[in-house]
């Protein structure tokens, strides 16, 4: 079964959800738990692992998406740690890095989506 447009839209929503949760951590609305920064527990990482990889694991975009998600999660963890140590403004400024990773993931998702819709 091919991945459809709705699947990709849901992946994009999962991406926004992570950014929203991280922002909530960096603005003191919620506590960070370790699962927030785990590729295995991240909703987008889980989607990649369970929906995309079984069908398209050989596509270079899939490996690059996974790598970029991991970089984004690692950066999010670092920002959360900065926030906990009192470097609040520095941590919040780091959201620009998260947005850059998110933009990269979006571009890769678009490429993969075009491939799967052929």
pLDDT tens digits, residue range 55-77?
A: 999 999 999 999 999 999 999 99
Contact 93, 85 (CB under 8 A): no
Q: For residue 88, what are the domain limits?
A: 5-116
DSSP 8-state code for residue 41: T
Quote the number of domains for the chain.
1
Contact 69, 48 (CB under 8 A): yes
pTM equals: 0.92
Among residues of the chain, what percentage have pLDDT more than 70? 97
| Number of neighbouring beta carbons within 10 Å of residue 16 | 11
Task: Tell me what the pLDDT averaged over the chain comes to.
Answer: 93
């Amino acid at each position: 079964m091919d991945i459809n447009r709705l699947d990709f839209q849901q992946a994009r929503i999962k991406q926004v959800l992570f950014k929203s949760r991280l922002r909530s951590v960096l603005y003191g609305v919620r506590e960070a738990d370790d699962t927030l920064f785990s590729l295995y527990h991240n909703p987008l990482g889980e989607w990649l692992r369970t929906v995309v990889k079984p069908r398209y694991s050989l596509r270079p975009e899939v490996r690059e998406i996974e790598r970029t998600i991991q970089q984004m999660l690692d950066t999010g963890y670092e920002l959360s740690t900065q926030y906990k140590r009192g470097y609040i403004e520095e941590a919040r400024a780091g959201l620009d890095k998260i947005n850059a990773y998110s933009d990269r993931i979006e571009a890769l998702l678009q490429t993969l989506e075009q491939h799967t819709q052929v």
